[in-house]
């Protein structure tokens, strides 16, 4: 099964949860899809065995063949192409690599080139297969890199995969969560935690993916998350206590199971609950 760990609000503890679940699962694949700020490696200290650059398709124009018909510019939904007389200006940074211009070009003046968007790496962390990627500095579009990373991880055809997703509900999150069997939404009992949980839950519902909540820093704040989940029929899979012990361990780069071993059973139950739910559903 493929489990995505997401949240509306950043800083709720997605990576903490992802690493803990991966640890209790034993042999599985952990994919850190937060390519703008990957940090799961800080807790896992993986042995990196492979590195690979990732590229996005961009159009390359043969001016000699170009007739200046302008069809490529008309078809481009991202305004990345400007046809001026019989030459074409390509604004690579606006291109989303959809390939429409290549198809539209009747004289075949446009072919596919590539633009570096980031670097993927993967290896082992104990029993875990670990994948992450870093977006090239200055690169505004992360979804193509997330997609490439997921495809790379899928090569293993693993039975179990955990995806540590970017925060928020925009394209990177949708790209990372898409295709998952289940989505765990991590949140905290604060007004922002509630507000952004609601947004994330709506996003996941739109994607037709079953979801459950893990409440981090439980005991701080009020019962707003419990009430929201009850009202919407969302299971609360686990409550992680608001604990200085956990915070100190986190700051030292320790995963939460090392800081609070008593949580191991709770995380195992999360896996079992999801697994049973998916089997019965």
Partner 1 sequence: MLICISSQGPDLDSQVDPRFGRAAQFIIVDTETGEAKAVDNNQNLQAAQGAGIQAGMTVANTGAKALLTGHCGPKAYVTLNKAGIEVYTGCNGTVAQAIEDFKAGKLQKAAGADVEGHW
Where do contacts with partner 1 occur on this chain (CB under 8 A)?
73, 78-85, 87, 89, 91, 94
What is the residue whose two structure tokens read 């590229």?
55
- Alpha carbon 135 to its chain centroid, in Å, reads 13
* Sheet strands side by side (includes 182-187): 47-61, 110-125, 128-135, 29-32, 161-164, 2-6, 182-187, 211-218, 236-241
What's the longest Cα–Cα distance across the chain?
70
Please state the closest distance from residue 84 (CB atom) to partner 1, in A. 5
CB of 262 to partner 1, least distance (A): 49
Closer by beta carbon to partner 1, 73 or else 198: 73
Q: Give the three-state DSSP class for 123.
A: strand
CA distance 241 to 243: 6
**178 contacts 31 by C-beta, under 8 angstroms:** no
Residue 30 or 83 with smaller CB distance to partner 1: 83
From CA 229, how far away is CA 213, in angstroms rounded? 8
For partner 1, the closer of residues 69 and 82 by Cβ is 82
Phi/psi for 164 (5° steps) reads -90, 105
Residue placing its CB nearer to partner 1 in the complex, 94 or 224: 94
CB of 87 to partner 1, least distance (A): 7
Alpha-carbon distance values, 249 to 16, 51, 111, 139, 243 (Å): 11, 30, 52, 33, 10
Minimum CB distance to partner 1 smaller for 82 or for 207: 82
Q: How far is the CB of 112 from partner 1 (least distance, A)?
A: 20
96 vs 134 by CB, closer to partner 1: 96
Residue 79 or residue 258: which is nearer to partner 1 going by CB? 79
Would you say the C-alpha torsion 120, 92, 97, 181 has a positive or negative sign?
positive
CB 109 within 8 A of CB 66: yes
Give the single-character DSSP code of 220. B
């Amino acid at each position: 099964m493929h489990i995505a760990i997401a949240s509306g609000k950043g800083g709720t503890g997605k990576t903490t949860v992802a690493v803990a679940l991966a640890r209790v699962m034993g042999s599985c694949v952990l994919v850190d899809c937060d390519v703008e700020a990957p940090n799961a490696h800080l807790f896992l200290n993986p042995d990196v065995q492979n590195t690979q650059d990732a590229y996005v398709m961009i159009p390359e124009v043969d001016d000699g063949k170009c007739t200046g018909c302008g069809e490529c510019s008309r078809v481009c939904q991202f305004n990345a192409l400007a046809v001026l007389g019989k030459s074409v200006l390509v604004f690579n940074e606006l291109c989303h690599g959809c390939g429409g211009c290549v198809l539209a070009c009747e004289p075949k003046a446009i072919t596919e080139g590539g633009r570096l968007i980031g670097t993927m790496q993967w290896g082992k962390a104990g029993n875990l297969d670990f994948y992450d990627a870093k977006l090239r500095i200055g690169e505004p579009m992360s979804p193509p890199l997330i997609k490439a990373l997921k495809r790379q991880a899928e090569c293993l055809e693993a039975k179990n995969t955990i995806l540590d997703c970017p925060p928020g509900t925009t394209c990177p999150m949708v790209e990372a969560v898409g295709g998952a069997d289940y989505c765990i939404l991590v949140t905290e009992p604060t007004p922002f935690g509630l507000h952004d949980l609601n947004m994330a839950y709506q996003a996941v519902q739109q994607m037709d993916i079953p979801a459950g909540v893990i409440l981090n820093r439980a005991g701080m704040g009020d019962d707003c998350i419990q009430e929201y989940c009850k009202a919407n029929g969302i299971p609360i899979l686990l409550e992680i206590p608001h604990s200085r012990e956990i915070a100190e361990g986190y700051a030292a780069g320790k995963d939460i199971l090392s800081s609070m071993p008593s949580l191991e059973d709770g995380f195992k139950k999360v896996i079992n609950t999801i697994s049973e739910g998916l089997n019965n559903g």
